[in-house]
Amino acid sequence: MTTTISLTRAEKLILTVSGVIALAIFLVTDPVVFGTDSNAYLRYADAISRFTVDPALYSRRAGYPLLLVATLYPWTLSVIPVLAVQAVCTALIPLLIYKILRFVSPLVALCGAWLNIATLLPYSFQTYLFPDPIQVFLSILFCYAVVRYIFERSTKTMIGMFLVYLAISFFRPLFLLFYLLIVAVVAIAAWQDRKNLIAYLKPFLALTLLVGGTHVFASALDTYLYKRIGVERKTLVGKMIFLNAFTRSTGVEGAFTDGKHTTVLREKLVSFFRNGPAELRNMKTLGPLVAHDFDAYKSDPEKMAVAILNTRNNYMWGVLFNISENWFGSWEGDRLFKQVALEQYRRHPKILLNVILTGFTYYLGIRACEPPPNYSYDYFEEYKCRFWPAYYPIAYETFGNPAMYEIFGNHGIITGMRPHIFKLINPVILKKLVAPFTSFALEIWPRIYRAVLPIASFLTGLALLYAGYRILSRTGESLRSDLAVLFAVLGVFLLYSVPMFMLTDPQFRYVSAGALFLIMSGAIALRILITGFFLPKT
């Protein structure tokens, strides 16, 4: 028995256009790298290939390093295979969006797929040497698996849903929360078909145990490998919880001046500036960009500690991070930062409100192209709207040259297909062809996001209110299919975006992933409103 994959004419056209865009990006751009973070994943992959761990790495998930191993990076020192995988995944995103929205209507599916292609959102971070391209693809695939289960309710579709969940859960700990959506859709299906309850519970429990067992095994193996080399694994979970509590507390009266754990943090800072090694406690080492702002406190550790806790921005969070690693200890410092953050949320609820409001205004597109609060130093002037898309090859001419050895050490020169293409096509000619498009993209597409995302958010909110009215008036039966898909799309969006903006600053690469779901929800919402107002109600 063979399984054939058949595509409709519309699906073939979507996949062809999307594939051409992804292929062009793959051929003419080099990978976009973050010196510290990308290097960490490369080193992690190298450690996995030797069945060991790298004690210098912070808590990274194994998903992306395993993909690097599967594409033979540790042996070939080439990232071209993983970039090829990312190109394929990126090309498939519009097709998956079409298939998700096809459960609503063919017209909505076409609009949603082509709008995503037109905005270039699926391709924005295709060449990032980072988990983002794969985790965005897997989140869309998970949404498709959930929608399929809602409509088909078979053991086969449940298995597919769990397999995608298992894969994405190894990319970020936050994605473990996707399990809540699985529980919700299986519970609804089982409740509506209570006579066959056991048919839902048996595979659900078996698959839950399988996924849970896999994570337990992975955790035990990780613990064993670290014990084998006698090193404790570094962690930064507490520091990430601390990040937004710290940076979003500006203007909150009394913030970071009270509380037992905050007092301990301040005392540790005083101890560091009083007793720490001179070369470590020098602000020119800790924070060279702001060192001059703290010259007045060099001889007074008490005032220095207060000044640092009163300068609550992302850069100062990095200074505290360095102090913690060099003086507090990784685990002890991480635990203290988590305790301080939770204490400040409890004592000053306004901080939590600031974090939530800031997150939603970015993820809903209201402030999508504005710098986050407290990016006040010149170092962050390039932030703008974090619009660093993968399809802008001219911006990355420095990547792939020997200078990268300084960052990546023995990991080789990080290049994609572009040097090979430049051997075939005069790079000057290619740049002349590409430059007008990329300049246009950098000017126009941020404005498109500023328009599309708020409109999609507004339509979604309006449609939810209208659907609520129809349900309360018992005239909402005709909306069941539309609302089921909208439930899945918004469920993934919320479980993706809320934990992200609670634990990270709203970088555009995170916001753009959420935007894919907002465009889908906006398309569904528009159909609900149009059919509700212009078609007969049933």
Residues 159, 120 contacting (CB under 8 angstroms): no
Structure-token pair, residue 16: 């062809």
230: left (phi over 0), alpha (psi -120 to 50) or beta: left
Verify that 91 and 200 share a domain, yes or no: yes
pTM: 0.87
Residue 352 lies in a domain: no
Residue 395 lies in a domain: yes
Burial of 427 (0-12, 13-18, 19+ CB in 10 A): middle
Q: What angle do CA 63, 372, 86 make, to 5 degrees?
A: 25
In 3D space, the residue among 215, 209, 206 whose CA is nearest the CA of residue 171 turns out to be 215
Residue 236 lies in a domain: no
Please write the tens of the pLDDT for every residue from 455-470.
Answer: 888 888 888 898 888 8
Counting the structural domains of the chain, the total is: 2
Verify that 112 and 204 share a domain, yes or no: yes
CA distances from 213 to 98, 210, 216, 233, 313 (A): 34, 5, 5, 21, 40
Please write the tens of the pLDDT for every residue from 404-457.
Answer: 444 444 455 567 776 777 677 666 666 666 666 666 666 666 677 777 888 888
Residues 342, 244 contacting (CB under 8 angstroms): no
Residue 358 lies in a domain: no
172 phi and psi angles, rounded to 5 deg: -145, 140
Tens-binned pLDDT, residue by residue, of the chain (538 aa): 455 567 889 999 999 999 999 998 888 777 777 656 788 888 889 989 998 888 777 778 889 999 999 999 999 888 899 999 999 999 999 999 999 999 999 999 999 999 889 888 888 888 888 898 999 999 999 999 999 999 999 999 999 999 999 999 999 888 999 999 999 999 999 999 888 889 999 999 999 999 999 999 998 988 888 888 887 777 888 888 999 899 888 888 888 888 899 999 999 988 888 888 877 777 777 777 777 778 777 788 888 888 888 888 888 888 888 888 878 877 888 899 999 999 999 999 999 999 888 888 877 777 655 554 444 443 333 334 444 455 444 444 433 444 444 444 445 556 777 677 767 766 666 666 666 666 666 666 667 777 788 888 888 888 889 888 888 777 767 788 889 999 999 999 999 988 888 888 777 677 778 888 988 999 999 998 888 776 655 5
For the chain, count helices (H), then strands (E): 23, 0
Domain termination residue (choose one: 347, 373, 406)? 347
Verify that 23 and 166 share a domain, yes or no: yes
CA distance 449 to 116: 11
- Which residues are bridge partners to 128 per DSSP? 32
> For residue 169, how many other CB atoms are within 10 A of its CB?
23
Residue 92 lies in a domain: yes
In 3D space, the residue among 37, 122, 34 whose CA is nearest the CA of residue 86 turns out to be 122
Task: Residue 94: give the domain boundaries.
Answer: 9-228+386-534
Structure-token pair, residue 260: 């037992």
> For residue 217, how many other CB atoms are within 10 A of its CB?
10
CA distance 398 to 383: 19
Task: Identify the pLDDT of residue 369.
Answer: 52
Hey, what long-range contacts does 37-45 have (CB within 8 A, 24 or more apart)?
Answer: 37/130, 38/129, 38/130, 38/414, 39/407, 39/408, 39/409, 39/411, 41/65, 41/68, 41/129, 41/130, 41/131, 42/68, 42/73, 42/129, 42/408, 42/411, 43/411, 44/68, 45/69, 45/73, 45/74
Residues 126, 26 contacting (CB under 8 angstroms): yes
Residues 385, 370 contacting (CB under 8 angstroms): yes
Residue 379 lies in a domain: no
32 phi and psi angles, rounded to 5 deg: -90, 125
The single residue listed with the structure tokens 């298995």 is: 159
Verify that 442 and 521 share a domain, yes or no: yes
Verify that 54 and 178 share a domain, yes or no: yes
Structure-token pair, residue 150: 């809602």
Verify that 159 and 77 share a domain, yes or no: yes
Verify that 324 and 217 share a domain, yes or no: no
Verify that 406 and 326 share a domain, yes or no: no
